[in-house]
Structure 1
Amino acid sequence: MSSYTLTLKLGTEDFQEDILSKRLEMGRRIYNICLAELYKRYNNMRESKQYKKISQLPKGKDRNKQFNELNNTYGLIEYSLHDFVRPIQKHFENNIDSFTA
């Protein structure tokens, strides 16, 4: 199966390109900050005694349920990330809305 990508130049003016570049850079920074925070939380979870105990259990629904509870405990769910990014987004609120952040 073939796939193709069509690349077209946007008909923008210089000031619009500057605004777009600035906003993309802000989005990249927010993404990297969130990614670093998630890695930190994930590594903390993996070092915990609970994680090591759960990982020794046989695979199954009970083990998955315990892992999900552990994810909630360490804030590795989408909604805890929303709480984390909210104050960061306030710093960029003139350029990036909350849904984009």
Structure 2
Amino acid sequence: MSKRGFGSCLWCIVGDFNTVRRLNERKWGIGDYGAWDMEEFNSFIRDMELIDVPLVGKRFTWFRSDGSMMNRLDRVLISESWSAHWGAGFVLQC
């Protein structure tokens, strides 16, 4: 996927990305599991020149029912042109 392939219009990508960007967005004790996924996801965000909208409220967006695992998987990613057009003053409320 490349920015060239989709054009330079206003982008807003919302979803459950099934990976985290940093280790502190995950609560569980399995070492560096997912390090490659994190690296790839961060590269995608950087290459596409996207902004990860800040999360307020709860720190995690996915929880295992017994509370043993928690992750921030849900995100809103916007382009700089989206931010310039609509403003950057919004946050994702959980």
- Name the TM-score, length of structure 1 as normaliser: 0.25
Larger Rg: 1
Q: Return the structure number with greater helix share.
A: 1
Q: Which has the higher contact order (CA 8 A, sep 6+)?
A: 2
